[in-house]
């Protein structure tokens, strides 16, 4: 279970075809399902800089071409896709209870070199929403944190019926559950089929999104692997998998900072820390 991220391959692990994930979802649809699927290749460099400590306290989800540290989250950015491979964020019952308002200021992240940067023009008339990976409503405990959530490094192309429906409901579940359990580690990520679609100047459209949750006080974890299509709150239960299942598909070792015995126990079976919607 321990990860040697520095020795992994040159980019984020990718799914090779839709059948692999469909098989995983079929095998793991029940709350007590066990993950399955082939191990995939990882990526290159470890995080650098400061400011990520709280969000990466249990280990970086994986290396990345560039890691960006924000007040409310940490981003592992992929230069090839112009989308984050993963975004990690640590929530508490206090932080999710603070609302700094909403100033909708989507903008390019100028910390990313210009050739690899997503821009507003890439999304214009694309038919896709600018979907948050770390949701604004979860990380708006300060005005700066709220503003940073609109950087395009924290955004992925999402279908409107995905972003505004089931995905928003899942984000709300995470906030409500954090209020109950006290603290939560969350990792949201993107996955792709071999046949990729793009918008604008090379911004790739994910074929799947995942979300991994760990409630450390309860020692419980659950993950969701969701095809990029319209879905609603009542569908969320269909996408429940174990953390191990996501690890098998991505090659990422989530929460590597846990001791091995706890990591094996927590990640083998999906154990939602709160009752799931749906």
Each residue's pLDDT, cut to its tens digit, for the chain (278 residues) gives 433 323 333 344 443 334 444 444 444 333 322 222 222 222 223 333 447 899 999 999 988 999 999 999 999 999 999 999 999 999 999 999 998 887 889 999 999 999 999 999 999 999 999 999 999 999 999 999 999 999 999 999 999 999 999 999 999 999 999 999 999 999 999 999 988 899 999 999 999 999 999 999 999 999 999 999 999 999 999 999 999 999 999 999 999 999 999 999 999 999 999 999 87
Segment (H or E) for 19: helix 18-28
Q: Which residue among the candidates 55, 65, 132, 228 is catalytic per the annotation?
A: 132
User: Cα–Cα distance between 268 and 32 in angstroms, integer?
Assistant: 9
User: Cα–Cα distance between 46 and 113 in angstroms, integer?
Assistant: 18
Asked if residues 260 and 59 have their Cβ atoms less than 8 Å apart, the reply is no
* Reported pTM: 0.83
Sort strands 203-205 and 208-215 into parallel, antiparallel or unpaired. unpaired
The question of whether 228 is a catalytic residue gets the answer: no
Sole residue written with tokens 């209870």: 97
| Confidence at residue 121, expressed as pLDDT on a 0 to 100 scale | 98
Which residue from 78, 68, 51 is spatially nearest to 110, judged by alpha carbons?
Answer: 68
CA atoms lying within 13 Å on the CB side of residue 139: 26
| Confidence at residue 25, expressed as pLDDT on a 0 to 100 scale | 47
Cα distances (angstroms) measured from residue 191 to each of 14, 42, 195, 196: 6, 12, 12, 10
């Amino acid at each position: 279970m321990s990860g040697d991220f520095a020795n992994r391959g040159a980019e984020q692990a990718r799914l090779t075809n839709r059948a692999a994930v469909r098989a995983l979802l079929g095998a793991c649809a029940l709350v007590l399902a066990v993950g399955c699927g082939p191990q995939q290749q990882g990526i290159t460099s470890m995080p650098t800089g400061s400011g990520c400590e709280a969000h990466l306290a249990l280990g970086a989800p994986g290396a990345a071409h560039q890691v960006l540290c924000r007040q409310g989250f940490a981003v592992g950015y992929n230069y090839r896709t112009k989308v984050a491979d993963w975004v990690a964020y640590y929530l508490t019952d206090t932080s999710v209870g603070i609302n700094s308002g909403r100033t909708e200021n989507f903008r390019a992240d100028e910390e990313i070199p210009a050739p690899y940067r997503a821009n507003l023009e890439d999304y214009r008339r694309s038919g896709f929403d600018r979907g948050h990976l770390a949701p604004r409503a979860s990380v708006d405990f300060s005005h700066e944190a709220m503003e940073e959530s609109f950087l395009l490094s924290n955004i992925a192309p999402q279908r409107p019926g995905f972003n505004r429906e089931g995905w928003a409901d899942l984000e709300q579940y995470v906030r409500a559950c954090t209020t109950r359990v006290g603290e939560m580690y969350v990792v949201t990520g993107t996955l792709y089929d071999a046949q990729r679609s793009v918008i604008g100047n090379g911004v790739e459209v994910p074929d799947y999104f995942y979300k991994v949750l760990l409630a450390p006080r309860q020692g419980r974890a659950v993950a969701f692997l969701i095809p990029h299509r319209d879905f609603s709150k009542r569908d969320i239960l269909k996408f429940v998998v174990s953390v191990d299942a996501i690890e098998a598909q991505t090659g990422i070792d989530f929460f590597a900072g846990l001791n091995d015995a706890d990591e094996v126990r927590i990640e083998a079976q999906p154990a939602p820390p709160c009752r799931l919607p749906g």
